[in-house]
Amino acid sequence: MASVNKWFGIGNLTKDVEIRYSADGKACANFSIACNETWKDKDGNKQESVEFVNISMFGRQAEVCTQRPLPDFPLFLDKFCPHCSSNS
C-alpha cells in the first residue's frame, strides 16, 4: 500500500545555509532549524524543549533558500514527499 509523508516545521535557522554543487551542476543545500516547544506541566511550571531538525534541499529550491535566510531567521517549511514512507 502506498503512503504519503507530510511534514510542517516552524523554527529558527541555526546557522548559514551551506550549499554545494554536484559534478553535473545540481545544487544541494543543507541547514538545520530549531523548533521550540513550551508548555506547562501538571504543577503549572513552564517547561521548554528544543528539537533540531536537519534539512536538505535540492535543485532550484536549494538555490532559493540561500538567497534570504540568516541565522535566527524564522522559517516555515511545508514538505510533501509522495515517495517517502513513514514505515522506513
Grid coordinates given for 46: 513552564
- Report the pLDDT value the prediction gives residue 82, as an integer from 0 to 100: 47
- Report the pLDDT value the prediction gives residue 47, as an integer from 0 to 100: 96
Handedness of CA 2, 58, 11, 49 (dihedral sign): positive
- Report the pLDDT value the prediction gives residue 81, as an integer from 0 to 100: 52
0.85 exceeded by the pTM? no
- Quick one: CATH architecture of 5-81? Beta Barrel (2.40)
Span 72-77, mean pLDDT?
73
Span 28-57, mean pLDDT?
92
- Going from N- to C-terminal start, the domains of the chain cover 5-81
Grid coordinates given for 2: 502506498
Percent of the chain with pLDDT over 90: 31
pLDDT-based confidence at 3, cuts 50/70/90?
confident
